[in-house]
Every structure is written in structure tokens, then in C-alpha cells.
Amino acid sequence: MKSLYKSLHSLLSEKSLKGKKNNLPTPYDVPASTLVKKLATHLKENFDQIAPPQWAPYVKTGSHAIRRPENPEWWFIRCASLLRKIHLKGPIGIIRLRSEYGGRLDRGMRPEHARRGGGSIIRKALQQLEAAGLVTSFKTRGRILTKEGRHLVDKLCTEIKEELEKAAVPALKKY
């Protein structure tokens, strides 16, 4: 049984390698937290269109949240996370993104219920990403990354992958 599994695995990996034109790292190949942090700092430093609105320090991220975010840079982190999610799951609309950023509402002794994340936060962040030229609407199906947005995410993935390979991180083997 084990040899059958190994042969199937090697066959599938050979087929998937034949179809690839290049072996550039994608968001699947690097840790998500590292990519989002690096992307957030890049967005903050290089894009003037992306800035937190005036109301950002006072809002919760959804009806499930108890308090507002403690990190003062949470807006840039959310924009970076949106870029990553659109890269992986695009075209994706605001309703599905609200579900992705939602959570469980604590109702005391009663059972918890799922709640969606804040729609205004996602809408404003997507509008800023569109103004920066990183995201665009795709017909009526949602948002996708533009060529510049995809290039930015892939470039940062390549940098992260090289940094991790230089550091010889043992946990990198799973990516």
C-alpha cells in the first residue's frame, strides 16, 4: 500500500512540474503571516493612496469583536491580507470576504453564532487598493488582482522564500 502511494505521489508531482513554466514562489509557498507583514510594510511605505480613514482608530472589525484592534497599523495589515486572499481565491466579492473576516459572537450562556466581519472596512480597503492600481473589478463576480498587484505579491513571495532558504529554517520544508 505504501509503495502504491509513493508511486502515485511521484507521478502526480511529475505531472504538476511539467505544467509549470517557472518555479517562482507563490503565496502558497511562503508562510502567510510573514507575507502579510512584509506586504503591509510595503503598502505603508510605497502607496500614498492606502491610508486609514479618520474613523479607523475607533471601530471594531465586526459585530463579533469585543474591542477595536490594538495594533495601530491594523489597516495596512488588513489591506495586505485582502491582497493575499484575492490572489488565492479571486475573483471574490465583499460578502465572501466579510465571511472570511468574521468570527464567533459570544452570547454568554447561549450558544455562539457566526457573524460576518465589517463590510465598510473591506469596501474602503478595496477602494484604496483599486486607487493604488493593485485590484480591479471582474465583471460582476468580484475583485481580482491587476498585473501590478500580482507582480507585487509574487515579488515579495520570492524575497521571503530566498530569506527563509538563507536562514535554513527547518519549518520551511512544509512549504
Neighbours of 150 (CB within 10 A): 17
Instruction: Indicate if the pLDDT at residue 20 is higher than 90.
Output: no
Cβ–Cβ under 8 Å, residues 102 and 116: yes
Neighbours of 27 (CB within 10 A): 20
Give residue-wise pLDDT tens across range 74-127: 999 999 999 999 999 989 999 999 999 999 998 899 999 999 999 999 999 999
- Classified as helix, coil or strand, 20 is coil
Dist. CA 9–CA 77, nearest whole Å: 37
Give residue-wise pLDDT tens across range 120-163: 999 999 999 999 999 999 988 999 999 999 999 999 999 998 88
Domains of the chain: 25-174 (1.10.10.10)
